[in-house]
Amino acid sequence: MIRRRAFGRALFGGAAALASASQVEAKGEAEALPRDSADAPAALSPGDAVCVADFRRIAAVQLPRPTFEYIETGSADEVTLRDNVAAFQRIKLLPPILSGVATTDLSTTVLGVPIKLPILLAPVAAQRMYHPHGALAAARAAAACGTVFGVSSSAANSIEEIAAAADGPKWYQLYVPKNRNIARRLVERAEKLSYKAIVVTVDLGEWKHADRRNRFMLPREMLLKHLQDVGFPDVDPGMSHDQLIAYNAAAWDQALSWDFFDWLRSATKLPLIIKGILRTDDARRAVDVGLDGIVVSNHGGRRLDGVPATIDRVAAVLEAVGGKAEVFMDGGVRRGTDVVKALALGARAVLIGRPYAWALAADGEAGVRRVVELLRDELQNALVACGCRSVRDVPKSLLLG
Ligand code: FNR
């Protein structure tokens, strides 16, 4: 049994996130499912899914409850988690009629890399817990859809394995080992493997009741492989689960400051993206230190409850950035119309987290493909209805007020 405190620290790193064997065995046990899954059709299959919410319902049935709750839940009272979605719903579209538009070009570029649609896959940890093929399946789906796969430092496969699985564009999301030699090596590996950018997530440390209640964490073998994959040299295969958890809890730098980016710039030529910005002064500082991209994000409402919905911060961040960096957003994107709203506010593209985690759980690579395609089709439909010929030209005037 792992002490609660050690468990909390393990999740802080964002690097430990897989269910225990006993939780996996619990799969299939009848448990009341949280929230709206009670209304799920009993036999909804992935091929019948017509929207993101359908994949959520399938995942709710398929996954052991602790794993489902790891994906699903947010921090503390989940005010921010809910608001990420609700804020999109508060924004209204005001489409002009008779625009003579039959189809919209969804292709764009992100930091110079062409993609087929402005919907990227956000870095998500522990994907092998959702489906046996985990991040390898998600990477293949992203490549097939022509979009970027954001590779989590904690994806549960090495960056080499993910690179070998699919040759689509990838960003490497770096959690930073305290040992900067290992951090440097990670960045060099990503560069050598032709990853297109390094994403530094700065809102570190998830704080979720459900995960503490469930004592949700990586099983020993996965945690061992994860630490070895990262390249910690003194991880010993003979270490017990508790020892590995303690090692993991101590290995990551949770106290980054801005000077980290000077160091990172000296370590790589790749474009640098900061993920987790909500404030305009931070956005300006990101530009001042020469970062190439900003992801307006609150970590999907998983870190600090009570912060604003991300879509409500996009316009202010964009104004602060003044075109000197590309601005992306994530959090609460569940519909093609959400993407339209983000683009109209000036975001270059959006990232999705939970939608593809649910789809991965539901049907592996095919599920992730399908969920991206469903969002793509919703986006296409919405942009035609709004008279837009290209995702690169979505006017703010589409938004009411
Ligand atoms: C995440 N997120 C995340 N972010 C990150 O930088 N590294 C990580 O390892 C993870 N892991 C992770 C696991 C799970 C299960 C989720 C749901 C999310 C946050 C993620 O990149 C993104 O910011 C949010 O998921 C976006 O919100 P939505 O789309 O889930 O509402």
Protein residue closest via CA to atom 1 of ligand 1: 124
DSSP H or E stretch at residue 110? strand 108-110
Give residue 202's pLDDT. 98
Q: What residue has token string 């009741």?
A: 209
Domain coordinates in residue numbering, the chain: 55-209+258-398
Q: 39 falls in which pLDDT band (50, 70, 90)?
A: low
Distance of alpha carbon 398 from alpha carbon 340, whole angstroms: 9
Give the residue among 360, 347, 338 at the shortest CA–CA distance from 319: 347
Distance of alpha carbon 165 from alpha carbon 156, whole angstroms: 14
Catalytic (active-site) positions: 299
Give the residue among 301, 364, 328 at the shortest CA–CA distance from 150: 328
What is the Å distance from ligand 1's center to 299 Cα? Answer: 6
CATH label, 55-209+258-398, candidates 3.40.50.300, 1.10.10.10, 1.10.600.10, 3.20.20.70: 3.20.20.70
Quickly list DSSP for 339-374.
Answer: HHHHHHTT-SEEEESHHHHHHHHHHHHHHHHHHHHH
pLDDT in tens, 252-292: 999 999 999 999 999 999 999 999 999 999 999 999 999 99
Protein residue closest via CA to atom 24 of ligand 1: 300
What is the Å distance from ligand 1's center to 300 Cα? Answer: 6
Q: What residue has token string 């402005």?
A: 118
| Residue 210 and residue 71 in contact, taking contact as beta carbons nearer than 8 Å | no
Give residue 401's pLDDT. 81
What is the Å distance from ligand 1's center to 144 Cα? Answer: 21
Quickly list DSSP for 147-208.
Answer: --EEE-TTSSS-HHHHHHH--S-EEEEE--BSSHHHHHHHHHHHHHTT--EEEEE-S-----
User: What is the average per-residue pLDDT within 81-103?
Assistant: 98
User: What is the average per-residue pLDDT within 149-176?
Assistant: 98
pLDDT in tens, 55-79: 999 999 999 999 999 999 999 999 9
Which atom of ligand 1 is nearest the CA belonging to 355? Answer: 29
